[in-house]
Amino acid sequence: MTTNKNVAPIDGSNGQTVYAVKLSDYLNWVAHPEKHIDALALPPIQRGFVWKPKQIQDLWDSLLRGMPIGSMLVQKFTGGEDARPVGDGKQDIEKQTDAGWYLLDGQQRTLSMLLGYQCDIEMKHKLWVDFSTWGDGTKYQLRVTTEHQPFGYRPNGKRLSLHDRREARERWAGAENANSKDIFADEETRPWKVKQGEQEYIFLVSELWGWMDEYADYSKWKEKIIERIQTALLEVEEQRLKEFFSDLCSLKEQWLALIEVKQVPNQEKANDYLTLLFERVSRGGTTLTSEDLLYSMIKQAWPDAHNLVNKLHKEVGVMMIPTDFVMTAFRLAALRAENISSDNPHPTAEYFHKHLSTLLGKKEVPGELRKMIAIEKSCLQNAFISLKKCISYVGGKDIGLPDALMPYLERPLLQVLLHWCLEASEEEIKESRAEIIRFILFWMVGGGSSRNTAKASVAAIALLSDGNKHMEFPAHLLYEKLTSSDDETDPLFKPLINYCGDKTSNEKVLRTAMQRAKMFFGDEGEGLYHQFTGRRHLLLWFQREWVQESYHRTDFMSGQDEDTVPYDFDHLVPQSNWSSFQGRGTHNEAVIENHQRWSEHWVRRDLGNSIGNYRVMDASDNRSRGDTPLTVKVGDATESFLNSSALWGDYAFSLSDAENDWQTASPKDPDCWYWDDARVLAFQHAVESRALNLYQRLFDEASMETLINKPAPHKHV
């Protein structure tokens, strides 16, 4: 039995290249490709959904105002070509049995529009409208939620505050069987309202669209709304509701322009043509990075690469995002190829074109790149698995890296490690564990600008490729290479310093960051001090036992970013206490000098944002204190601050840190808003002491002295 299918809303057979299509017909075509003779799909060159919440909200504000949103570019394809479904999930690229249309440009707008349309496509975003208030700069109060931010963002698209996220989670966790539910999938989960706790006036736009299809009459549609709200509408709420219904009806009748891009006959030229077109049209929307463009070129030449990367991510996690993963595979494959002599960590499109076909090869005679990421016994996959297993934290005083720190490993560093792992045996990798971890920590502390880390990666790989095989990872040789300098050039990385000095300081003068660095680390270590105190993510390593225990069920390798991770970097002395200056002042000369220096925002910022004033804290934990002064939380009379039972895990403090100084630096309200000389100097001493204790702890626990002075490992040919 055959199933009747609808024709596509565009023809393409009569020479016409511009089509006017009803928006509702277009979305139906996208949402239900199986119901149409010619389906709409994405070409391999297209990337995933990358729009931010504010972009989605602005697009829908334009739609509801009846404003044009630009045209879409489409291209006819015949059966047997590669494509993937439209959606913001990780769908595979597949051979298409029938002919259809590629959506060349307009994916971000299309997926954003689908958020307000009832369909079965898997989406990792939801679009909401709040009828209890007007929009701020938009016609309606539109909100977006995501898998990693199930309680949404602020109306301006910014992340919710820590306090609001905690409040939202506490309310949700009180629901029946909350622990067994997926927060984002839970139908009762709505965006958190900052000023009002009640969410009953918030509705899914797609749900409202569906009710409009069911109840074409406004009065019946409104009854459905009131049934949900379970209360009478105020006059202003009635006005918003009526306007929204009218705008939604108008939206269904809006027209959209589709422009057909004709096929280029020669396949090789077609690939180049689409890549060029894709690069240029992106300039009017979300600009492509060079990595995005080059990944698109690979997918266009070898569509299976998209599927293989997705499968590899399931095996090894997202230690790299897809573009970084492919760029790494390309670079390491080029290093293994006999006919490519140069190492290029940042290939240009021209370089890519020159070597891509050689590195891919054919299915029958695969090139190094195809072999590198082929799913069957992939050598790069095995290298990733071995590396992650090697460096992972295993508990207790182990120096390994917790999962939460893995996404902070830079691509140039990982490329160095993977290049060595590709040639090493499992036993050699296992035996080199401590050396590899020490080198990673050194890279995190000693590395500087992205330009320097790229140069360091080239220099390190050159050393590893010197024609000899190292029996163990040559961390000491690499350290010497990256920290060496000559008369003309500075070292790429800052040499480590074994600071074992007296951690007390002159408590009469407030210093600048440069003065602190020179006092503790000397002229040669000034840059190292600045870099270390700015690396707050190292606290994930210092608090690794607590981090691993707290988040052992969290998949940090699933592509999370700073807006989606379950922890926060929390200021011990709250930022609100020192970001704006308020001082009492006295007639003492030393006080006047400190008072004047403390009034400079950059001085307060450098001290307040030092690693010495941070800890890692659960983003929604009930222990969260928001802007509450430190002494209110842990400095009460019943328990000494530094005798807390969870001292190191919760706060990453050493017993030698200055308890009295922290109590002076973070007093109770209203004194927390005023800074006299004693408090300024106590804050400086507390932060300095803790930063130096953390550095010494890193140096001692990871035995960094062996990295600096260890004899070079033996080699054999």
Residue 442 exposure: Cα atoms within 13 Å on the Cβ side? 30
- In this prediction, residue 429 carries a pLDDT of 95
Separation CA 343–CA 454 (nearest Å)? 11
**Structure tokens, 712:** 């070079």
- In this prediction, residue 56 carries a pLDDT of 92
Residue type, 321: I
Backbone angles phi, psi at 293, to 5 degrees: -65, -45
Characterize the bridge pairing of strands 72-77 and 255-260: parallel
SS3 104: strand
SS3 542: helix
- Residue 210 CB neighbour total at 10 angstroms: 14
> What torsion do the CA atoms of 207, 211, 212, 218 make, to the nearest 10 degrees?
-120
How far out from the chain centre does Cα 540 lie?
16
pTM of the model: 0.72
Which runs of E-coded beta strand occur in 554-600? 567-571
- In this prediction, residue 89 carries a pLDDT of 56
> What's the DSSP call for residue 161?
P
Beta bridge partners of 73: 105, 259
- Residue 452 CB neighbour total at 10 angstroms: 18
Separation CA 75–CA 259 (nearest Å)? 8
SS3 377: coil
DSSP string, 436-474: HHHHHHHHHHH--SHHHHHHHHHHHHHHHTSSSEESS--
Element (H, E) at 95: strand 94-95
> What's the DSSP call for residue 255?
E
Domain boundaries, the chain: 126-230, 291-483, 513-701
Tell me: cis bond preceding 670? Omega within 30 of 0 counts: yes
Q: Comparing C-alpha atoms, which of 52, 118, 518, 454 is closest to residue 285?
A: 52
Separation CA 342–CA 331 (nearest Å)? 10
Backbone angles phi, psi at 258, to 5 degrees: -115, 130
SS3 146: strand
**Structure tokens, 464:** 């590893």
**Structure tokens, 702:** 């990871």
- In this prediction, residue 228 carries a pLDDT of 83
DSSP string, 589-648: HHHHHHHHHHTSHHHHHHHHTSGGGEEEEETT-TT--TT--HHHHH-STTS-GGG-TTII
With both helix axes pointing from N to C terminus, report the angle between 322-336 and 349-360 in degrees, rounded to the nearest 10.
70
Separation CA 283–CA 697 (nearest Å)? 48
With both helix axes pointing from N to C terminus, report the angle between 513-521 and 601-608 in degrees, rounded to the nearest 10.
50
- In this prediction, residue 142 carries a pLDDT of 93
- C-alpha distances out from residue 252 to 407, 660, 675, Å: 43, 66, 60
- In this prediction, residue 4 carries a pLDDT of 64
> What's the DSSP call for residue 392?
B
Separation CA 603–CA 557 (nearest Å)? 37
> SS3 sequence, 122-145?
CCCEEEEEEEEEECCCCCEEEEEE
Separation CA 7–CA 33 (nearest Å)? 10
Separation CA 202–CA 688 (nearest Å)? 48
> SS3 sequence, 327-345?
HHHHHHHHHHCCCCCCCCC
Radius of gyration of the chain, Cα coordinates, nearest whole angstrom: 29
Chunked into runs of 10 residues, the chain (717 residues) has average pLDDT values of 66 79 91 83 76 90 91 86 72 79 88 89 88 85 87 84 76 57 79 74 91 85 86 83 92 90 61 56 53 69 72 69 81 87 79 82 85 74 91 93 90 94 92 96 91 92 77 91 82 87 69 88 88 94 88 62 71 86 61 80 91 82 55 45 52 66 84 86 90 91 90 46
Separation CA 387–CA 439 (nearest Å)? 13
Q: How far from each other are the two terminal CA atoms of the chain, in whole angstroms? A: 69
Q: Are 421 and 460 in contact (CB under 8 A)?
A: no
Tokens 């706060």, located at residue = 651
- In this prediction, residue 251 carries a pLDDT of 92
Who contacts 362 (Cβ-Cβ below 8 Å, separation ≥6)? none
Separation CA 635–CA 34 (nearest Å)? 64
Separation CA 660–CA 678 (nearest Å)? 12
Beta bridge partners of 615: 570
- In this prediction, residue 27 carries a pLDDT of 92
